[in-house]
Structures are given as structure tokens and as C-alpha cells.
Amino acid sequence: MCVSLSTGLKYNSAKCCIFFGGVDQTGRKDLKNLTGFAEENLSFRYLGIPMSSKRLSAQAYDNLIDKINHWSSRLLSYAGKLLLVKSVTFALTNYWMQWNNRESQVAWSTISMPKKNGGLNIIDLDIWNTVTLLKLLWNLSDKADSLWEQWIHTYYVKNQNIMDIEGTTNASCIVKEILNQRGCVRGRSWWGDMLHQDRFKMSKIYTELLRDVPQVPWKSLFYGNLARPRAKINLWLSCNERLGTKSRLYRFGMVDNPKCCFCSEEETQSHLLFDCVGTKGIWMKVLEWLQIQHIPSGWTQEMKWIIQKTKGKGARAKILKLATTKSIYEIWRYRNGKCFGNNVNAQKTYDTIIDSIVYRD
């Protein structure tokens, strides 16, 4: 029950079994009737390891260790590898072909930013492609280790500085692209330093090429946050003010009425969190349960207060981060249920928040 409340997962009695040790027949019968699990006997194997009440020897783990140390595709035949490549390639193509071009909640330029700058730290493939081309340019600048590099120097560089040679029209596409990258590194001090190093640090160059964006004040809310990923993503959308409120959807022409489903006010994010009479009471009860005396205000002021109170690495700061994240997530679910006519109520939402705080922490 505790696991189900904290993770949202439920067990499947058809896939579960129960093992007994030192339990009489009456107790066994009662437990089987209570859980619905089938009784099994030791020993059995899990991940190739025999499960036994006795102490296992080191050799019993060899099979598992061998599987971990060897990439699974090495054990595949050529036919198996071909099938693996085809299935993965088809799955990727099939996924992207189903892209329906909806309005994005957050721009990709923001998503690719580091977390401290308000993003999700997802690699920008366009910038990463530039980094890989710069690595090839770096290889050609002062090195001729491979046959390909020697060939480029012989036919294009010709004892000149590769940063100064003019582009040639008969060069291959890859050579032209490599030479085109010189424009983005000319005058950069870090590029001059990189030319004198023995190793090309792709992560460092990627960071240098990212847009210069200031750090966001709410970055600390995600450090040491014990909430589940879906709740943290919802918090991230909230911090970027990208929740799909009626006011926002109304501007896109996706709904006809921007009014709040709890009152007659316009449903903006600042109103929903935490000015609305339908949601403010939930957050106040959570704060009261945490023994915090505070009267909620609008979103901007509330975030400033939360950021101030969650500084540090103490237990109270972590609990308040968790409570804030789960409260925003469950209030948003409560709002969605209300809009779509589901059977929801404020007390149930409050109970869910408290349960998730207790069992997650």
C-alpha cells in the first residue's frame, strides 16, 4: 500500500508469487487469500542468480556479472544485429513521422539550456553538430595523424594555415562545412587555447557555443527535490509560466472562455497559483500541516517566498520543496479534473499531497 501511494504503481496478482519460511499452514492460507498471490518454493532464479535462503557463493553471481560486462549486441549474430538496427531505425522514423506539429509549450532554445539557466539540459543537436565539425577542424589545424588528414593537407591546406586558406569550389561537402565553421571561432580566446591542447574537449566547446542566458532565480528548487519526475516537470513548466491555463489557450484560439472553472475570474497562472479561492485553501492547509505560518499571495510573490525558504540543504528545505512541487502538480490535476467534469474535490487533493509527502520522504 505504501509503495502504491508513493510511486503510483499497482501490483498485478497474476504476475506475483509469495514465498514462506517458518509460517504455519493457517498463516499461509490467510496470506494467500489476502494477497491473491500464488505460493512458490525456493529455489528459483532471478536475473540468472539462484534465490535461496542459504548464503550464495561468489560463483553464483558470475552469470549476472558477465552479462553486465558485455554489451548484449556482442552476443547477437549478424542476423540478430541486422534485425536490431532495422527495428530501432523503424521505431525512430515511425515516431517522428507521427509528429503532429502542435504548438510547443516551451521553445527548444529554452529546453536545451542548462538547468541553472531554466532549461532541461537537453543537447541542442544543431550546436552539437557544429562542435563535431569544430573537432574535425581542430584535427586538421595542427595534426596529420590519419590518412584522411594527410590527404586534406596535401590537396587543400598545402602548407598554409587552415584558418587562412580560401574555400575551394571543388571540395567535398564535408570539407566545405568544416571550413565554414571558422567564422564562429575567429576571435574567440577559448579556440586559441584549444589549439594548443592535446585533447579536444567537446563538452567545453558546447558550453561556449550556447547562448549567454542569465541564471534563473528558481534553479535551486530542482536541486535535492525528492518529488517524482512528472511533478518536477510540471513545476518546471510553472516556473517558465507555460502551464496551459485557459487564459493562455484563449490567446491561441484553442478555447472560447478564459474564465476560471472555480470562480468567475480570468484563469491565469498567477490566479490559479495561488489567488483562486478554489486552490488557495489547499495550499494553506498544506502549509498548516507543515507548521508554517504564511498567507499565500500571487504566483510571483509566492515563488520569491518559497525560494527564500528553501535555501540550504536541511530537511525542512527539502520537505518544503517536495510539498511545493507536489502541491502545484496535484492542484493542476485537480483543476483539469474540474474542467473535464471528473469527480474531484479539494479534500481528496489535499490528502493526496500529504500522502505523497509522507511516503516519498
Query: Structurally, how many domains does the chain consist of?
Result: 4
Is the same domain home to 171 and 298?
no
Where residue 159 falls (left for φ over 0; alpha for ψ -120 to 50; beta otherwise) is left
The last residue of a domain, from among 163, 190, 209: 209
Q: Which domain holds residue 33?
A: 2-67
Residue 242 included in any domain: yes
Is the same domain home to 185 and 308?
no
Residue 24 included in any domain: yes
Q: Is the pLDDT of residue 167 over 90?
A: no
d(CA 135, CA 132): 5
Over residues 110-135, the pLDDT tens digits come to 999 999 999 998 889 899 999 999 99
Q: Is the pLDDT of residue 51 over 80?
A: no
pLDDT at 151: 81
Of the candidate ranges 95-104, 188-197, 199-208, the one whose mean pLDDT is the lowest: 95-104
Residue 18 included in any domain: yes
Is the same domain home to 225 and 354?
yes
Q: Is 237 helix (H, G, I), strand (E, B) or coil?
A: helix
Is the same domain home to 355 and 233?
yes
Residue 141 included in any domain: yes
pLDDT at 346: 92
Nearest in space to 133 (alpha carbons), one of 178, 176, 193, 186 = 178
The dihedral sign for the CA sequence 333, 336, 342, 343 = positive
Residue 190 included in any domain: yes
Burial class (CB in 10 A: 0-12, 13-18, 19+), 198: exposed
Residue 111 included in any domain: no
Nearest in space to 286 (alpha carbons), one of 225, 357, 334 = 357
pLDDT at 347: 93
Q: Is the pLDDT of residue 304 over 70?
A: yes
Is the same domain home to 226 and 324?
yes
Is the same domain home to 43 and 88?
no
pLDDT at 144: 61
pLDDT at 5: 64
Residue 130 included in any domain: yes
Is the same domain home to 34 and 136?
no
The last residue of a domain, from among 85, 101, 117: 101
The last residue of a domain, from among 67, 86, 115: 67
pLDDT at 100: 66
Arithmetic mean of pLDDT, 249-262? 90
Arithmetic mean of pLDDT, 136-160? 78
Residue 119 included in any domain: no
Percent of the chain with pLDDT over 70: 89
